[in-house]
Amino acid sequence: MKAFHDGGNDLALPIEDQWLPLAPAKDARIAEVKRDQLTTELAAAFDYAFDGTTTFTPAAMPDLAPYRIGLIVGASGTGKSSMLATIPEQSPTVWRSGESIAAHFDSAEDAMQRLLAVGLSSVPSWCRPFSALSAGEQFRANLARKLVDGAIVDEFTSAVDRHVAEAAARGVRRYVDEHNIRQIVFASCHRDIIPWLRPDWIIDTDAQAYAIKPRECLQPEPVVVEVRRVHVAMWHLFAPHHYLTPNVSTAARCFCAFVDGQPAAFCAAITFPNGNFANAWRSSRLVTLPDFQGLGVGTRLVDWVAEFHTRSGSRFYAKTTHPRLGGYRDASPDWTATSKNRIARRDSSGKSRWTISSRFSYSHKYTKEQA
């Protein structure tokens, strides 16, 4: 049984893969500096024999093709970047000043798919320049542009919250599989991304070994969400992230999903005025905060709110133009499409509002049978 050392805790793993030793590179790397007095004194104070040169022999990059996602993982200074340097480099990601991040993709459809894949779901953020994004949003935007064959991503998730890291890793794996992307290599000092990213091979620079088709650590811990009914004033925390309006009905029933005690998603429900039946409700507002986008928290929150209402004898409806949310409900056995489902929305002149292909207004009724 192999044990990994992670943050001071030894973790015994129940599934044992075949780990092969990394071979050293043919040529050692030598760094040379002038022997100035200050450096010489510092080295002597710690009895370090220093002649002005430092020699380092990195591990050679093994031939691991074909693959979709590869991961080089290990502590800083163990040779991750040196191994990446042996892989042909892609063009650097450049963000043009004064242009939205969406303008840097091949098409509106391409921008939507890639930005959603990495959990950057905020439409207002798509319309901002890169410099106006938060650090977490900049990480996701850069990652979205890297979702191409042969990309190299160094320091993957090193500088972001772990919720952002999880959402990004999950989304990348899904997008790569759906679009048949080939040979993307990630390097990271974090091991928690392994079950989310599900790499086709892992190079462990701490252990100087690698494994093909690893199974270790591929069972992620579930995201535990607590749902509470909250006062409508809670909306003020989420309003800046809703792309249409900052307003919410004061008569709405409001619910908030908390992850690790932090507010993550908000759902408001209002009565559904319809002359054909009484006691019906619909989802009115749904917002997931940026750091929790891509984890499925908002989707599950609406499911919970819908079940809350149907258990009390009410009908519950939901409408959205979000393609992932609408697609989820199309495929879910708990939701049934209404006659208004997947119909293009039109403006006052009768023209379709959408220029992006396959954009619909999704409409569903919650029909899960209660036990």
d(CA 54, CA 287): 53
The CATH number of the domain holding residue 317 is: 3.40.630.30
| pLDDT computed for residue 217 by the predictor | 62
Are 38 and 142 members of one domain?
no
Task: Single out the residue of 233, 365, 349 nearest to residue 306, CA to CA.
Answer: 365
d(CA 161, CA 71): 19
Which H/E stretch holds residue 53?
Answer: strand 53-56
Are 290 and 182 members of one domain?
no
d(CA 201, CA 121): 29
Are 186 and 317 members of one domain?
no
| pLDDT computed for residue 190 by the predictor | 92
Decide the pairing of beta strands 253-259 and 262-271: antiparallel
Inside any domain, residue 218: no
Are 291 and 277 members of one domain?
yes
d(CA 234, CA 257): 11
**Taking a C-beta distance cutoff of 8 angstroms, is the pair 143, 73 a contact?**
no
**Taking a C-beta distance cutoff of 8 angstroms, is the pair 88, 114 a contact?**
no
The burial class, CB within 10 Å (0-12 / 13-18 / 19+), for 185 is buried
Inside any domain, residue 133: yes
Inside any domain, residue 292: yes
| pLDDT computed for residue 240 by the predictor | 84
Inside any domain, residue 103: yes
Are 8 and 157 members of one domain?
yes
Are 231 and 349 members of one domain?
yes
Query: What total of structural domains would you count in the chain?
Result: 3
Inside any domain, residue 275: yes
59 DSSP assignment: B
**Taking a C-beta distance cutoff of 8 angstroms, is the pair 301, 292 a contact?**
no
Per-residue pLDDT of the chain (371 residues; tens, 9 = 90+): 233 334 444 444 445 788 899 998 888 888 899 889 999 899 889 988 888 898 888 888 998 989 999 999 999 888 898 888 888 866 788 999 999 999 999 999 999 999 999 989 888 899 999 999 998 899 999 999 999 999 999 999 988 888 889 989 999 999 999 999 999 999 999 999 999 999 999 999 999 999 998 886 666 677 789 999 999 999 999 988 876 667 889 999 999 999 989 999 999 999 987 667 778 999 999 999 988 888 889 999 999 999 999 999 999 999 988 888 888 999 999 999 999 898 875 554 555 544 444 567 899 999 998 76
Angle between helices 108-117 and 323-331 (to 10 degrees): 70
Are 43 and 70 members of one domain?
no
The CATH number of the domain holding residue 65 is: 3.40.50.300
d(CA 297, CA 257): 7
**Taking a C-beta distance cutoff of 8 angstroms, is the pair 342, 360 a contact?**
yes
Are 169 and 113 members of one domain?
yes
Inside any domain, residue 142: yes
77 backbone φψ class: left, alpha, beta (φ>0; ψ -120 to 50): left
Are 230 and 317 members of one domain?
yes
d(CA 367, CA 361): 19
Task: Write down which residue in 191, 212, 233 finishes a domain.
Answer: 212
Are 43 and 176 members of one domain?
no
**Taking a C-beta distance cutoff of 8 angstroms, is the pair 161, 169 a contact?**
no
Are 277 and 261 members of one domain?
yes
**Taking a C-beta distance cutoff of 8 angstroms, is the pair 201, 215 a contact?**
no
Paired with 186 in beta bridges are 71, 153
Q: Count CB neighbours of 44 within 10 A.
A: 11
44 is in which domain, residue-wise? 25-58
